[in-house]
Chains A and B, each alone.
Chain A
Amino acid sequence: MKHLDGNVLAGPAADLFAFEATTALGRCGACGDVAALAQARVYGPPMGYVARCRSCDSVLLVIVEHEGRATLTMRGLRWVRVDA
């Protein structure tokens, strides 16, 4: 399957966060790479969004939108830094 960029997360993330998530920096919990969420590799839309680390391919976060609800897991991110 062909992957997309983290840019495509902006829509589903806008319904979850009050900040612009795709320009936020995140640190991969597996390899420690720090990158903007927009730089992640994203698989799976429109059924759901699986964002993987650009360096080690570990899963950073998953968003599934279904019947008006969104489910978010972000177990693969050690931290997220947002412009204040």
Chain B
Amino acid sequence: MRGWLTATLVAAHRLTATARGLTFSVPDWPGSDAGQHLDLRLTAPDGYQAVRSYSIASVGPGSEVELAVERLPDGEVSPFLVDELELGDGVELRGPLGGWFVWRPGDTRPVQLIAGGSGVVPFVAMMRSHARAGSAAPMRLLYSLRTPEGAYFRDELSQPGPHVTTTYHYTRAAPPGWSRAAGRLTAEDLERATLPPSDGPLTYICGPTGFVEAITAALTTLGHSPDTIRTERFGGT
């Protein structure tokens, strides 16, 4: 029985026009591995409860937990978290959760991360974990998003490291002079921007269900074994 922990919002900042970074203080938080998620529960005055899962952007020990939440147009929980929750307000959390969609610094294999939109959040934790451990494992992030303005944590993710690279891909609007016209990721894009099967990478894909399905299928046609691909779908669009 894991149970629910009380969490207090202690910091928040705007990430994009539709997303907010939220840091909670959770006295009994045991720390988390990169890629884990948590369940967040809200209780209305009439007792109605809503639970949603969110990936954790922070990593390691400590009693603070950082999330990045995208406001879904028809959402029940995310509009409240993005627009209304104030510093000092409380929510309930259950976690950290999951052991499959996790990267641990002891793993020396090359790592390919592929994010669709807000699916980048667990990869922020993996990049932080990689940097903190001084890992020599090659780690590549391919970040697909609609427009340049939609990027989360751009400054942090763009910091070059000896073993880390981030490649951006835009599906609706690309910056002026961008080498690739805006459009969905294709198998050719993946071949150009991701580690090849011959490098023996472990590949993590996180994004909307349709995105994860399409990328997984394309990687399989490029010769990646399904056993080397780990996925996290979050439904939605």
Show the binding face of A for B, using Cβ within 8 Å: 2-8, 10-11, 14-15, 20, 22-23, 36, 38-39, 45-46, 65
How far, in whole Å, are A10 and B235 apart by their CA atoms in the complex? 17
How far, in whole Å, are A23 and B98 apart by their CA atoms in the complex? 8
Q: Are the CB atoms of A4 and B97 closer together than 8 Å?
A: no
B83-116 vs A, Cβ < 8 Å mask (1 yes, 0 no): 0000000000011011111000000000000000
Chain B residues with CB under 8 Å of A10's CB are: 37, 97-99
**How far in angstroms is the closest Cβ of chain A from B227?**
10
Chain A residues with CB under 8 Å of B17's CB are: none
Q: Are the CB atoms of A3 and B233 closer together than 8 Å?
A: yes
Show the binding face of B for A, using Cβ within 8 Å: 1-3, 37-39, 50-53, 94-95, 97-101, 208-210, 230-236
Residue of A nearest to B95 (CB): A11
Top 6 nearest A-B pairs (CB, nearest first) are: A38-B100, A10-B97, A11-B39, A14-B2, A10-B98, A2-B209
Q: 22 A-B residue contacts at CB 8 Å?
A: A2-B208, A3-B235, A4-B209, A4-B234, A5-B232, A5-B233, A7-B98, A7-B100, A10-B37, A10-B97, A10-B99, A11-B38, A11-B39, A11-B97, A20-B98, A20-B99, A23-B99, A38-B230, A45-B51, A46-B50, A46-B51, A46-B52
Q: Which of B52, B94, B95, B232 contacts A7 (CB 8 A)?
A: B232
How far, in whole Å, are A11 and B51 apart by their CA atoms in the complex? 10
Chain A residues with CB under 8 Å of B53's CB are: 8, 11, 45
How far, in whole Å, are A52 and B187 apart by their CA atoms in the complex? 28
How far, in whole Å, are A5 and B233 apart by their CA atoms in the complex? 6
Residue of B nearest to A37 (CB): B100
**How far in angstroms is the closest Cβ of chain A from B128?**
20
Q: Are the CB atoms of A2 and B236 closer together than 8 Å?
A: yes
Q: Are the CB atoms of A2 and B210 closer together than 8 Å?
A: yes
Q: Are the CB atoms of B233 and A4 closer together than 8 Å?
A: yes
Residue of B nearest to A38 (CB): B100
Chain A residues with CB under 8 Å of B97's CB are: 10-11, 14
**How far in angstroms is the closest Cβ of chain B from A55?**
11
- With A15-B1, A22-B98, A46-B51 known to touch, is A5 a contact of B210 (CB < 8 Å)? no
* Given A2-B235, A3-B233, A45-B51, 6 other A-B residues pairs in contact with their CB atoms under 8 A: A7-B100, A11-B51, A14-B2, A22-B99, A22-B100, A36-B100
